[in-house]
Amino acid sequence: MKDNQNGVEVNATTSETSIHTDFKNNMTYGEYLKLDKILSAQRRLSGHHDEVLFIVIHQVSELWMKLILHEMHAAIDCIKKDDLSSAFKKLARVSKTQSQIIQAWDVLSTMTPSEYMEFRDSLGQASGFQSYQYRMIEFALGYKTPHVLKIYEKDPELLKELRQAYEAPGLYDVAIQALNKAGISIDEEVLNRDVTRTYQENDSVRKAWITVYQNPQLYWDLYELAEKLVDIEDWLQQWRFRHMKTVERVIGFKRGTGGSSGVGYLKKVLDQRFFPELWDLRTEL
């Protein structure tokens, strides 16, 4: 580039005399991020060009899911401690992260059916259906399905971690507890429910959220918490829809590599709800 004052060619990097260049005894950016491990993890099982795309998209999605779990678990702890303002920050970050995962499907959808068929058999029975982090997200949102735990019996340590997540109260459980702490009556059967079972909607919870939405100034923190929960479920369903349409675009209605019905299964999960009362009250208000 040229220095505007005298027309002398100036290199932007060399003109910064304080930039560190000697790392013989110091940690580099690549070392901090462990880039040697991350960037060497895209090992194709076929010789097809597009397999790299397939691997990278799924690895990036798993990294985003790791962040979602990190923030969601922290938000659950904050709500338990009645620190709702800190929980809002973390839940907002979850929603922004979800938007990144959704956009990843746009990149994967550039792969055509013919290209995917070139390496699909190399996957064997490996499938996104087996993503344990996705299952942990479902658990944190209160959707508990004990039969999926069987998938992870191959790894006892992972299975132990999943069981802990399965047996822990979810985000909606602690939100309902927060309603009760605020003096809005919740049925004891809900407050003491078996959290290893998928949450079922309850009339006292419905009435509690209606009270919050009818009196937002009085229950502002709970009102904001409710909207954060709606954001998360909304983005999750958009992610599921983009997943379903991408699969349909690439493999049509073929059975998934993991044995599921593929698009048929993905369409069914779109009907799952995590925070039912928060959606139903929109009709009632």
Task: Give per-residue pLDDT as tens, 161-188.
Answer: 999 999 999 999 999 999 999 999 999 9
Cβ neighbours of residue 54 closer than 8 Å, sequence gap 6 or more: 108, 111, 116, 119
User: CA 113 to CA 228: how far, in whole Å?
Assistant: 37
Binding-site positions read 54-58, 116, 120, 243, 257
What are the boundaries of each domain within the chain? 1-41, 49-284
User: CA 227 to CA 72: how far, in whole Å?
Assistant: 15
User: CA 80 to CA 86: how far, in whole Å?
Assistant: 11
245 closest CA partner among 118, 130, 106? 106
**Mean pLDDT in residue range 146-153:** 92
Site of tokens 């597009």: 50
pLDDT of residue 5: 55
**Mean pLDDT in residue range 77-101:** 98
Contact (Cβ atoms closer than 8 angstroms) between residue 124 and residue 46? no
pLDDT of residue 219: 98
pTM of the model: 0.91
Binding-site positions for heme read 243
Binding-site positions for substrate read 54-58, 116, 120, 257
CATH number of the 49-284 domain: 1.20.58.480
Per-residue pLDDT for 119 more than 90?
yes
